[in-house]
Structure 1
Amino acid sequence: MFEMMWSTREKVLVSIIIILGVALGIVLWYPTQSDPPSNQSWQTYSEQDEEEVNQQKEEESNTIVIDVKGAVQEPGLVELEQGARVSDAIEQAGQLTEKADSNQINLAARLQDGEVVYVPQMGEEVSILVLPDKANTTVNLNRATIAELEQLTGIGQAKAEAIIQYRDENGSFTTIEEVMKVSGIGEKTFKQFKDEVSVK
């Protein structure tokens, strides 16, 4: 009887060992089978990300940013497609105001990234209506109008008027550094536009 009981125990132990072995085999086999789909999903996701980044770069290369100022409804930066014209920039800026002098604007002129479009008011004389990149163009402190001075970095209407007043009272600027003698223009402000101005 003891031997029969022992045999039964042995059978139970063998059964448990078999069950554990099968369970362990399933655990070891399942990750091996599931890994490829997981890696495949990761690779697919990475490829989609790369395609989206490339598409975004391509879209950015086909756009330009223009600064529209003066007599328009909504002055500020506008984003346009390559090959856009002044008329497109004005349309993005909410069209002209009632005081705008459209006769001084070349609506058909093509634009490049970083340009400034300034729309003058009636009776205002402006020599530069579409200003190329400031790195390639300077504003002459001795001949510039208020509108042209306002195109300088850090210069608003009040400071532009102060420059004109100083020039009228003291004569032409002999150096660009002399503009720091104008009320409201210190060294910090001067550094912002010093590469955009000239005196000759």
Structure 2
Amino acid sequence: MKKVIFSAIVIAFSTLSFANHAFDNDSGKAVATSVVSDSVININQADTKALALLKGIGKKKAQAIVSYRQAHGDFSSIDDLLKVEGIGKKIIEQNKARLSI
């Protein structure tokens, strides 16, 4: 009986540990992912996947942010996001607490 309970606990914890991982399609290895929706995102370092987690930002706007950053260099303030096509004050206000530079 103790072995059955122990096995069930081990399986439960194993399942939980994979909840925060995805599998890389190229290598098949588990890679860590962020499932926390309130994590802080550095707009000068984030990739399109991280940026797309923000409210009002999809894949296209996330790519626009990365493209702008590559063309013009790092943002010096959060409000510099207004220079990116498709990013307005509302999107910045919705995400301000989650953005950093």
Residues 178, 101 of structure 1: alpha-carbon distance in 2 compared, 3 angstrom cutoff: farther
Give the C-alpha shift of residue 131 in structure 1: 4.1
Q: CA RMSD in A?
A: 2.8
Q: CA deviation at 1:159?
A: 0.2
**Counterpart-to-counterpart distance in 2, 1:139 and 1:153:** 12
Aligned residue in 2 for 1:85 = 16
**Residue equivalent to 1:60:** none
Alignment match, 1:103: 29
Q: Which 4+ runs in 1 deviate beyond 3 A?
A: 86-90, 96-102
Aligned position for 2:3: none
Q: Which runs of 5+ in 2 are unaligned?
A: 1-12
1:194 lines up with 2:73 in the alignment: no
Corresponding residue number in structure 2 for 1:161: 63
Q: Which of the numbers 43, 59, 82 marks the counterpart of 1:141?
A: 43
> Sequence identity, in percent?
30
CA–CA distance in 2 between the matches of 1:187 and 1:193?
Answer: 10
**Paired residue total:** 88
1:132 aligns with: 36
Q: 1:85 to 1:159 in 2, by over 3 A?
A: same
Partner of 1:19: none
198 and 89 in structure 1: CA distance in 2 versus 1, 3 angstrom threshold: closer
Matched residue SS, 1:148: helix
Is this contact kept in 1: 2:23–2:30, CA < 8 A? Answer: no
CA contact 2:23–2:29 (8 Å) conserved in 1: no
Q: Give SS of 2:46's match.
A: coil
